[in-house]
Amino acid sequence: MADQSKIPQATAKRLPLYYRFLNNLHLQGKSRVSSKELSDAVKVDSATIRRDFSYFGALGKKGYGYNVEYLLGFFRKTLDQDETTNVALIGVGNLGTAFLHYNFTKNNNTKIEMAFDADKSKVGQEIGGVTVYHISDLSERLKNVQAAILTVPGAVAQQITDELIDSGIKGILNFTPARITVPEGVRVHHIDLAVELQSLVYFMKHYPVDE
Ligand code: ATP
């Protein structure tokens, strides 16, 4: 098995993408895949795929391609797919509610275990099978949870981040427009949907893709 610390970050970021596609192939009963097929599906050029896969010790054979089962086994180990990561969701508004209804476990082993909100009318509800607790119970309830999804208003994002970190959270998926500050050792991924959409429109206008 390859040493995970030697995989470049750019390669590591593409792992979930590869994993999802290969998992679907596996479910369809396919045992091998060509780099061209993979490239078309995940929109990564085949030279990059070959380089990425060489880090996993997976060398495609000409005319055969890659062994789906071998790759899946590697990805499962590397992405800790054998172990479920428990996630808490903070802020059960429109976006938060959508996430609670979304079945994350379909493609990977993350699970929203609990949700929190400050609105008393939401506390005690069960949405998508997940119970909503009051935000003041955060430190008491957050046991065996490693990551959090932040879908609160930007104005309270930092304060809630601090509380999450005090409770031992090591990763935050931040959907608020606020740029949050965290101590070393805590990872934040920031997804601002409004900015992403604006950026898409900008690129469509200024960098049209060839037909
Ligand atoms: P969204 O931005 O998800 O579409 P929304 O427009 O429905 O949500 P927001 O005002 O953005 O509502 O708030 C998102 C959720 O965060 C709401 O359910 C709100 O009750 C909750 N919230 C607000 N302040 C806090 C807080 N301090 N702690 C926990 N939850 C909070």
Q: What is the pLDDT of residues 94-121, one digit of tens each?
A: 999 999 999 776 656 788 999 999 999 9
185 marked among binding-site residues: no
Give me the number of domains the chain comprises: 2
Q: What is the pLDDT of residues 193-210, one digit of tens each?
A: 988 899 989 888 888 776
Complex confidence, ipTM: 0.93
CA dist list (Å): 39 to 7, 23, 64, 66: 20, 15, 15, 12
Q: What is the CATH number of the domain that holds 97?
A: 3.40.50.720
93 marked among binding-site residues: yes
- Domain co-membership, 70 together with 54: yes
Q: Residue 195, class by beta-carbon neighbours within 10 Å (0-12 exposed, 13-18 middle, 19+ buried)?
A: exposed
156 CA to centre of ligand 1 in angstroms: 9
Cα–Cα distance, 141 to 167 (Å, whole number): 9
Nearest ligand 1 atom to alpha carbon 156: 27
Cα–Cα distance, 173 to 87 (Å, whole number): 10
Evaluate whether residue 122 is within a structural domain. Answer: yes
What is the pLDDT at residue 2?
A: 44
- Domain co-membership, 48 together with 118: no
Cα–Cα distance, 174 to 33 (Å, whole number): 35
Average pLDDT, the chain: 88
What is the pLDDT at residue 114?
A: 97
The residue-averaged pLDDT of 27-44 equals 89
Ligand 1 contact via 91 beta carbon (within 6 Å): yes
Model confidence at 81, pLDDT cuts 50, 70, 90, reads: low
Evaluate whether residue 127 is within a structural domain. Answer: yes
Q: Which of 130, 141, 152, 162 to mutate to test the pocket of ligand 1 (most atoms within 8 A of CB)?
A: 152
pLDDT for 5 beyond 60: no
Ligand 1 contact via 156 beta carbon (within 6 Å): yes
Structural domain boundaries, residue 115: 85-195
- Domain co-membership, 141 together with 188: yes
17 CA to centre of ligand 1 in angstroms: 30
What is the pLDDT at residue 121?
A: 98
The residue-averaged pLDDT of 118-127 equals 98
Evaluate whether residue 202 is within a structural domain. Answer: no
- Domain co-membership, 92 together with 190: yes
Ligand 1 contact via 138 beta carbon (within 6 Å): no
Q: Which of 57-71, 93-107, 168-182, 196-210 shows the lowest per-residue confidence on average (mean pLDDT)?
A: 57-71
What is the pLDDT at residue 58?
A: 64
Q: Which is higher by pLDDT, 32 or 156?
A: 156
Q: What is the CATH number of the domain that holds 8?
A: 1.10.10.10
CA dist list (Å): 97 to 35, 115, 149, 150, 167: 38, 10, 12, 12, 23
Ligand 1 contact via 93 beta carbon (within 6 Å): yes
- Domain co-membership, 107 together with 51: no
125 CA to centre of ligand 1 in angstroms: 15
pLDDT for 3 beyond 80: no
- Domain co-membership, 67 together with 133: no
